């Protein structure tokens, strides 16, 4: 009997959440965290291998369904989750770690992270759009508590703002899902699978365009809020900057992609409706707004983590533009960028955690001369910053280039031109901040570079290696996965 990897992906984090409740010491809790992180990595690897050899898998009578597009999201959540959990162990888990938490809080922290991971895997594996919605709602509940983890006033406010804004977004998305359901029932009659993505895609050409267009408005407002697309992004910088650093990495590297993934699934359905271009238009408008707003806001940031948060808004906009341009190249670029951004941004958030510890501040005005004062962290920041700014040979350069060329070659010259301007602006803002942080004399004494933090460096190494390697060469299985995912969307 084949091993049910699809189910194991969901069971492992839940089991971890149960197991960590019994941890008697901090070391035991950390051991559970490391075990869950590694187990999830392995399970997802086996699942992806099965996916690449056998093709799309489904389970539970079609309730769970994994194709190449889900595979991409599974891979992202697994890599980001692994890095973030390993980093957590040295950041707040181990005794003597900089944000050392008392055991009960540590247990609760790990439980919430495991539940957060569970809901994100559920999003990736759901076939039914209703289950997908429930998964995204679950991510809000679990992560809102993590955002408020430090229980300072600012953290609580950020957490409340995040909870309310994303809940409102999700209510709108539920309404959109309801309308999609009505359109689907009209074609298929009431059965049990009208909301299954596989069913909707195969009957897409018959869906009523008027109703789908109305549904789309609500779905975009809803999931767009969660994906951090401007002008619905206002929760994002607060939540990212107030959350503990490993959680910021999870939010930016994994969660935003889950919401974007929901939009991509909807997009795939509407691509089947003949002559229906509204999804591309929505992506274009939200994408352009996001890249421009974020590029401008990048200049005026004064907080390291808010800087990275606005850069996430920018990159979500780039992905939306890739989807708007469409075609095989645009889609490939968008999905490739999803992966690149996840790895690069996770690495940068973790580096920024180290830097903030060394410099004893997150204030961009006060962090100077990091290359001299903390050479190791400074070098990593330089690498990650270059990768994020989209400098070749880093992978984000390749995906941005693909998206731009898709835009220019497929009659979206104006939009692609605007995107190029925004990219240049963002590049300028990022390099300006980086230069100030890295060069010059350090303005104040830095803490000695963090002791040999094994797990944190391991986690960091994983994502940084992925981010760098992707730009140099795209490994065969990965390229197969990406091309498969493009096929899934494009049909």
Partner 1 sequence: MIVLAVQALDISAAIVLVTAWISLIHRRIEALVDTYAIQSGALGITAGLVAYQYQAPDIYVLAGLTIVVNAIVLPWLLRRVVRNLGVSRMVNMYASVRASALAGLAILLVSVWVVGGITPFAEVPSAGLLPISVAVLLIGFFLLITRRKAITQVVGLLVMNNGIFLAGIALTYGLGLFVELGLAANLLVLAIVARIFLERMKESFDHVDADALRALEG
Residue 468 CA, chain-centre distance (Å), reads: 18
CA pair distance 262, 356, nearest whole angstrom? 34
423-452 binders of partner 1 (CB under 8 A):
none
Nearer to partner 1, 105 or 186 (CB): 186
CA pair distance 98, 354, nearest whole angstrom? 10
Instruction: Provide, rounded to whole angstroms, the least separation between the CB of residue 39 and partner 1.
Output: 28
210 contributes a contact to partner 1 by CB under 8 A: yes
**CA torsion through residues 351, 252, 360, 436, sign:** positive
211 contributes a contact to partner 1 by CB under 8 A: yes
CA pair distance 151, 278, nearest whole angstrom? 42
CA pair distance 390, 345, nearest whole angstrom? 12
Q: Which listed residue (174, 200, 323, 348) binds partner 1 by CB under 8 A?
A: 174
CA pair distance 353, 429, nearest whole angstrom? 20
Instruction: Provide, rounded to whole angstroms, the least separation between the CB of residue 353 and partner 1.
Output: 20
CA pair distance 408, 321, nearest whole angstrom? 12
Q: Which listed residue (150, 160, 299, 397) binds partner 1 by CB under 8 A?
A: 160
Instruction: Provide, rounded to whole angstroms, the least separation between the CB of residue 190 and partner 1.
Output: 6
Q: Mutual orientation of helices 476-490 and 68-88 as an angle, nearest 10°?
A: 130
190 contributes a contact to partner 1 by CB under 8 A: yes
Size of the site for partner 1 (CB under 8 A): 45
CA pair distance 415, 330, nearest whole angstrom? 13
214 contributes a contact to partner 1 by CB under 8 A: yes
Nearer to partner 1, 158 or 367 (CB): 158
How far CA 389 is from CA of 151, 422, 427, 460, in Å, comes to 33, 12, 5, 19
206 contributes a contact to partner 1 by CB under 8 A: no
CA pair distance 251, 114, nearest whole angstrom? 13
168 contributes a contact to partner 1 by CB under 8 A: yes
- Side-chain-side CA neighbours of 483 within 13 Å: the count stands at 8
Instruction: Provide, rounded to whole angstroms, the least separation between the CB of residue 320 and partner 1.
Output: 23
- Main-chain dihedrals φ then ψ at residue 412, nearest 5 degrees: -115, 40
Instruction: Provide, rounded to whole angstroms, the least separation between the CB of residue 212 and partner 1.
Output: 10
CA pair distance 313, 311, nearest whole angstrom? 5
156 contributes a contact to partner 1 by CB under 8 A: yes
28 contributes a contact to partner 1 by CB under 8 A: no
Nearer to partner 1, 24 or 153 (CB): 153
346's CB contacts (< 8 A; 6+ apart) are 79, 80, 83, 84, 249, 252, 253, 463
122-151 binders of partner 1 (CB under 8 A):
128, 130, 133-134, 137, 140-141
Tokens of 421: 């301007």
Instruction: Provide, rounded to whole angstroms, the least separation between the CB of residue 114 and partner 1.
Output: 18
Q: Which listed residue (59, 167, 405, 490) binds partner 1 by CB under 8 A?
A: 167
158 contributes a contact to partner 1 by CB under 8 A: yes
Binding piece for partner 1, criterion CB under 8 A, among 30-38, 82-90, 208-216, 430-438: 208-216
The terminus-to-terminus CA distance of the chain in angstroms comes to 31
DSSP string, 104-142: HHHHHHHHHHHHHHHHHHHHHHB-BHHHHHHHHHHHHHH
154 contributes a contact to partner 1 by CB under 8 A: yes
Nearer to partner 1, 33 or 158 (CB): 158
H helix or E strand, kind and range, residue 58: strand 57-59
Q: Which listed residue (21, 38, 277, 300) binds partner 1 by CB under 8 A?
A: 300
Q: Which listed residue (152, 192, 205, 365) binds partner 1 by CB under 8 A?
A: 192
- Beta carbons within 10 angstroms of residue 365's beta carbon: 10
56 contributes a contact to partner 1 by CB under 8 A: no
Binding piece for partner 1, criterion CB under 8 A, among 64-72, 104-112, 163-171, 256-264: 163-171
Q: Is 360 helix (H, G, I), strand (E, B) or coil?
A: coil
Binding piece for partner 1, criterion CB under 8 A, among 76-84, 168-176, 345-353, 415-423: 168-176
14 contributes a contact to partner 1 by CB under 8 A: no
Question: Where along the sequence are the contacts to partner 1 (CB under 8 A)?
Answer: 128, 130, 133-134, 137, 140-141, 153-154, 156-158, 160-161, 163-164, 167-168, 170-172, 174-175, 177-178, 181-183, 185-186, 190, 192, 194-195, 208, 210-211, 213-214, 234, 237-238, 242, 300, 302
């Amino acid at each position: 009997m084949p091993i049910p990897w699809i189910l194991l992906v969901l069971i492992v984090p839940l089991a971890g959440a149960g197991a960590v409740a019994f941890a008697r010491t901090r070391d035991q809790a950390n051991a559970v965290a490391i075990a869950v992180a590694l187990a999830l990595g392995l399970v997802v690897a086996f699942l992806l291998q099965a996916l690449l050899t056998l093709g799309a898998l489904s389970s539970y009578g079609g309730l769970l369904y994994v194709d190449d597009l889900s595979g991409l999201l599974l891979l992202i959540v697994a890599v980001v989750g692994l890095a973030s959990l390993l980093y957590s162990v040295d950041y707040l888990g181990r005794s003597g770690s900089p944000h050392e938490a008392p055991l009960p809080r540590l247990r609760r922290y790990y439980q919430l992270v495991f539940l957060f991971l569970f809901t994100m895997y559920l999003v990736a594996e759901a076939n039914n759009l209703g289950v997908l919605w429930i998964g995204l709602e679950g991510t809000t509940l679990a992560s809102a508590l993590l955002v408020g983890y430090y229980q300072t006033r600012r953290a609580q406010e950020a957490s409340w703002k995040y909870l309310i804004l994303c809940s409102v977004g999700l209510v709108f998305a539920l309404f959109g899902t309801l309308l999609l359901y009505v359109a689907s029932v009209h074609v298929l009659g009431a059965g049990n699978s009208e909301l299954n993505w596989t069913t909707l895609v195969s009957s897409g050409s018959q869906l009523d365009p008027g109703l789908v267009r109305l549904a789309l408005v609500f779905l975009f407002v809803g999931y767009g809020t969660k994906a951090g697309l401007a002008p619905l992004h206002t929760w994002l910088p607060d939540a990212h900057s107030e959350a503990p650093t490993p959680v910021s990495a999870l939010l930016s590297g994994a969660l935003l992609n889950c919401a974007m993934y929901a939009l991509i699934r909807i997009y795939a359905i509407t691509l089947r409706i003949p002559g229906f271009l509204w999804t591309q238009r929505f992506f274009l408008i939200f994408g352009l707004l996001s890249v421009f707003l974020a590029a401008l806001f990048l200049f005026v940031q004064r907080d390291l983590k808010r800087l990275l948060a606005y850069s996430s808004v920018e990159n979500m906009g780039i992905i939306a533009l890739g989807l708007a341009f469409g075609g095989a190249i645009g889609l490939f670029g968008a999905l490739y960028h999803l992966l690149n951004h996840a790895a690069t941004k996770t690495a940068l958030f973790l580096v920024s955690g180290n830097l903030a510890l060394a410099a004893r501040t997150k204030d961009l005005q006060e962090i100077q001369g990091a290359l001299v004062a903390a050479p190791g962290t400074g070098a990593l920041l330089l690498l990650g910053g270059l990768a994020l700014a989209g400098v070749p040979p880093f992978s984000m350069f390749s995906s941005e280039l693909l998206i731009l060329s898709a835009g220019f070659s497929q009659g979206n010259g104006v939009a692609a031109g605007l995107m190029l301007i925004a990219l240049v602006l963002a590049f300028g803002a990022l390099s300006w901040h980086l230069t100030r942080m890295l060069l010059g004399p350090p303005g104040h004494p830095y803490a000695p570079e963090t002791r040999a933090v094994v797990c944190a460096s391991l986690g960091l190494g994983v994502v940084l290696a992925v981010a760098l390697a992707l730009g140099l060469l795209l490994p065969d299985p990965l390229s197969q996965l990406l091309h498969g995912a493009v096929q899934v969307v494009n049909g």
